[in-house]
Amino acid sequence: MTDQRVLITGSAGVVGTLMRPRLRRPGRVLRLLDLAPQTASDASEEIVTASVTDPEAMAAACEGVDALIHLGGHSRENSWEATLDVNINGTHTVLEAARAAGVSRVVLASSNHAVGFRRVDEDLPADSSPRPDTYYGVSKAAIEALGSLYHSRFGMDVIVIRIGSCFETPLPLGPRGLTTWLSPDDGARLFEACLAAPSPGYRLIWGVSDNTRRIYSLKEAEALGYKSLDDAEVYADQLADKPAPAGIAAEYVGGPFCTAPLGVFN
């Protein structure tokens, strides 16, 4: 049997770095694409140094690929031009390359900031309509729409994950992280569920651990086979003396993104 080949864009970024060792499997080759230099650990990894905005490079990177996990792009607020180019046009370039190469399964990284101006006390099903908090959030809403389009037009299985906060621990995030944390191990469990689910079609799901203070719905991810085993609450004592979000940051899903200046890299 030939190996399953999974292309990960943005593999040297925050989430990519956490997922890379966790998504290694016997019988799987990870093709790791990033602008930053990377080194293959062994023959189960292939390195591609390229931008998601480069159509030729993306076409070559998609050759022989069974599934694609698209994490590449700006992961925070940036200028409108940079956000449009890398996140929106870049995702279009990635999806076009995947379609042309016959990649039938695509997982796209969206973010809680696509719905950052939804209130924390409202119901938050995974398909809550977009209420972005930044240009970055707008780009994530556009990525969700592009994924939907490529499923409807071309029959590709496209799963879009609205990621909460995926870091080694919730500690750098402060108390908000007790709500939004997606543990790296749960992240890997979620990506594995997205790769394995039979014929999912188009799905929009939340990416979060089963945190005691969770406000995002998990039922849509669980319907794909995801089971969270982590809870940020185990870090609560270590965050007890840190200031809780206040004002707008406390009222809305996007927290501090809701008041950060638009278009300013942070």
Minimum CB separation of residue 1 from ligand 15L in Å reads 36
Instruction: In angstroms, give the least distance from the CB of 76 to ligand 15L.
Output: 5
Pick the closest to residue 183 from 222, 220, 209 (CA basis): 209
Q: Tell me how far CA of residue 17 lies from CA of 10, 167, 220, 233, 241, in angstroms.
A: 9, 10, 26, 24, 30
Residue 240: Cβ-neighbour burial (10 angstroms; 0-12, 13-18, 19+): exposed
Minimal distance in Å, beta carbon 7 to ligand 15L? 20
- From the candidates 136, 216, 226, 252, which is the catalytic residue? 136
Interface contacts to ligand 15L, rule CB under 6 A: 75-76, 111-113, 165, 173, 180
Annotated catalytic, 136? yes
Round to whole Å and give the CA distance between 13 and 69. Answer: 13
With H, G, I as helix, E, B as strand and everything else as coil, classify residue 114.
helix
Q: In what order do the strands lie in the sheet with 28-34?
A: 45-49, 28-34, 4-9, 67-70, 105-111, 157-163, 202-207
Q: Which residues are catalytic?
A: 136
